[in-house]
């Protein structure tokens, strides 16, 4: 590591002559090494974690979602073609197809988001703020696999510029940056993030007989490699089979309740994540493992997670008692098997910048997200998922919640005095 450190020191750009390059260099260097400047003096509290490494821990908690999401993109693609139904069948084809979809989304997200952040840091004359490490890891996981890259670039630029830099940068934003990128796509380009076709990639359409949409990477690069190894290859003549539906469980629940959902997907499929959906939001066990990891290292708030669960469960029981529509009759506990509740709970609602900060405020904040999210999901047919809107809505009220919690605490202390 000393050789690497010496090399990085030798190639360090001049800060005055090349501010942008020096800022980019500083971002890379402090990602690898602990920053050289630390607080000094006996009155300061220090530990081994700086902000960049705190952000890296969240990124590590997301890696299992990336691996599974890559496989599931391929799994859903070949399910549409009636090929390789087993988990390990055609594994190399599923993983490569998934990577061909995920990597460009990941790269565009980081080039645009980090490019804007580095430019702002260079203009202001300070180091790169680390917040986009997490936002950049989250954004690809909450997008459909076939989202046009130019559209993604606009959404990331909007979220970074308007959602963060306009408010002063990392730590000052009002809304969750990753959700702001998704909500931009949803309202600006709704057909690209809703409906049945967008969740299954690599097809001309979801209709029976539609042909695959393979590119140069599939047919030239990887088919050449697989042929040389004697492995199965991508078939450019494959078509969508009869009986296939790219509908998500939530879309089916709107149409016919829980019976319509289980007619297409088993409970195990929904729990383990082998269903259409956003890239990283389908596997509940892997998301929960990440949530536990964040709680154990003290980054994720268990109060927000638990209260959000309780809020959603309470609203689910209310709907079960009402039962006016088939969706309302879905057993409340099965609401957690559909959609992105656990992902929103673990990685979105717990954002320390945009969430409530007081302990009592976290309970109020989480319960409100859970209740509002399920209310939007069940009663709004235009948007079959409510957590994005509920979290962004409660982001605006988090400071107000903390204000009244602190006011109540101070009033109690004054009364005691």
pLDDT on residue 191? 82
Alpha-carbon radius of gyration of the chain: 23
Largest CA distance in the chain: 82
CB 92 within 8 A of CB 192: no
Tell which residue, 90, 103, 99, has the closest CA to residue 70.
Answer: 99
CB 177 within 8 A of CB 131: yes
CA distances from 219 to 214, 245, 357 (A): 7, 25, 52
**Tens digit of pLDDT at every position of the chain (417 positions):** 567 777 766 767 766 666 666 666 666 666 566 555 555 544 444 444 456 667 888 999 999 999 999 999 999 999 999 999 999 999 999 999 999 999 999 999 999 998 888 888 777 766 666 667 889 999 999 999 999 999 999 999 999 999 888 887 777 889 999 999 999 999 999 888 877 778 999 998 888 889 999 999 999 999 999 999 999 999 999 999 998 888 899 989 988 999 999 999 999 999 999 999 999 999 999 999 999 999 999 899 999 999 999 999 999 999 999 999 999 999 999 999 999 999 999 999 999 889 999 999 999 999 999 999 999 999 987 776 889 999 999 999 999 999 999 999 999 898 887
pLDDT on residue 45? 47
Cα 21 to chain center, whole Å? Answer: 29
Cα 289 to chain center, whole Å? Answer: 15
Q: Count how many Cα atoms sit within 13 Å of the Cα of residue 71 in the half-sphere of its side chain.
A: 18
Q: Could you give the CA distance from residue 371 to residue 314 in angstroms, rounded to a whole number?
A: 7
In sequence order, what are the residues at sequence separation of 6 or more whose Cβ sits closer than 8 angstroms to the Cβ of residue 213? 202, 203, 204
Q: Count how many Cα atoms sit within 13 Å of the Cα of residue 80 in the half-sphere of its side chain.
A: 32
pLDDT on residue 126? 64
pLDDT on residue 8? 67
**What are φ and ψ of residue 16, in 5° steps?**
-80, -40
What pTM, to 2 d.p., does this model score? 0.88
CA distances from 179 to 129, 132, 156, 159, 369 (A): 19, 13, 10, 8, 14
* Tens-place pLDDT, residues 338-380: 999 999 999 999 998 899 999 999 999 999 999 999 999 999 8
pLDDT on residue 62? 95
Q: What is the 3-state secondary structure (H, E, C) of the chain?
A: CHHHHHHHHHCCCCCCCCHHHHHHHHHHHHHHCCCCCCCCCCCCCCCCCCHHHHHHHHHHHCHHHHHHHHHHHHHHHHHHHCCCCCCCCCHHHHHHHHHHHHHHHHHHHHHHHHHHHHHHHHHHCCCCCCCHHHHHHHHHHCCCCCCCHHHHHHHHHHHHHHHCHHHCCCCCCCCCHHHHHHHHHHHHCHHHCCCCHHHCCCECCCCCCCEECCCHHHHHHHHHHHHHHCCCCCCCCCECCCCCCCCCHHHHHHHHHHHHHHHHCCHHHHHHCCCCCCCCCCCHHHHHHHHHHHHHCCCCCHHHHHHHHHHHHHHHHHHHHHCCCCCCCCCHHHHHCCCCHHHHHHHHCCCCCCCCCCHHHHHHHHHHHHHHHHHHHHHCCCCCCCHHHHHHHHHHHHHHHHHHHHHHHHHHHHHHC
Q: Is the dihedral of CA 30, 35, 37, 40 positive or negative?
A: positive
User: What is the total residue count of the chain?
Assistant: 417
* Tens-place pLDDT, residues 263-318: 999 999 999 999 999 999 999 999 999 999 999 998 999 999 999 999 999 999 99
């Amino acid at each position: 590591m000393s050789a690497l450190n010496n090399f990085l020191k030798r190639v360090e750009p001049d800060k005055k002559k090349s501010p942008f390059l020096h800022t980019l260099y500083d971002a890379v260097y402090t990602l690898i090494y602990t920053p050289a400047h630390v607080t000094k003096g006996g009155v300061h509290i220090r530990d081994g974690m700086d902000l960049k490494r705190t952000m890296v821990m969240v990124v590590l908690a997301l890696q299992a979602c990336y691996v599974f999401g890559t496989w599931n993109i391929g799994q859903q693609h070949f399910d549409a073609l009636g090929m390789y139904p087993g988990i390990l069948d055609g594994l190399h084809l599923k993983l490569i197809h998934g990577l061909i979809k995920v990597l460009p989304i990941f790269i565009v997200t980081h080039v645009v988001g980090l490019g804007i952040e580095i430019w702002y840091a260079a203009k202001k004359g300070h180091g790169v703020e680390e917040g986009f490490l997490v936002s950049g890891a989250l954004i690809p996981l909450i997008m459909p696999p076939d989202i046009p890259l130019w559209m993604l670039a606009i959404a990331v630029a909007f979220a970074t510029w308007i959602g963060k830099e306009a408010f002063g940068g990392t730590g000052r934003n009002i809304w969750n940056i990753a959700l702001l990128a998704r909500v931009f796509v949803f309202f600006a380009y709704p057909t690209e993030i809703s409906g049945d076709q967008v969740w299954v990639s690599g097809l001309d359409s979801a209709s029976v007989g539609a042909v695959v949409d393979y590119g140069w990477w599939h047919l030239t690069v990887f088919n050449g490699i697989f042929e040389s190894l004697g492995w199965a290859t991508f078939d450019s003549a494959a078509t969508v089979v009869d009986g296939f539906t790219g509908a998500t469980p939530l879309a089916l629940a709107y149409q016919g309740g829980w019976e319509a959902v289980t007619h297409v997907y088993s409970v195990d499929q929904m729990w383990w994540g082998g269903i259409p959906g956003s890239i990283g939001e389908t596997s509940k066990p892997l998301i929960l493992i990440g949530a536990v990891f964040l709680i154990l290292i003290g980054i994720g708030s268990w109060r927000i997670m638990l209260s959000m669960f309780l809020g959603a469960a309470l609203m689910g029981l209310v709907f079960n008692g009402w039962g006016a529509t088939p969706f309302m009759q879905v057993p409340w506990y099965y609401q957690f098997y559909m959609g992105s509740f656990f992902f929103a709970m673990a990685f979105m609602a717990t954002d320390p910048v945009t969430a409530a900060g007081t302990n009592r405020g976290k309970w109020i904040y989480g319960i409100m997200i859970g209740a509002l999210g399920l209310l939007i999901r069940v009663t709004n047919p235009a948007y079959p998922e409510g957590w994005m809107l509920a979290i962004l809505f409660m982001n605006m009220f988090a400071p107000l919640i903390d204000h009244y919690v602190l006011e109540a605490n101070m009033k109690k202390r004054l009364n005691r005095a």
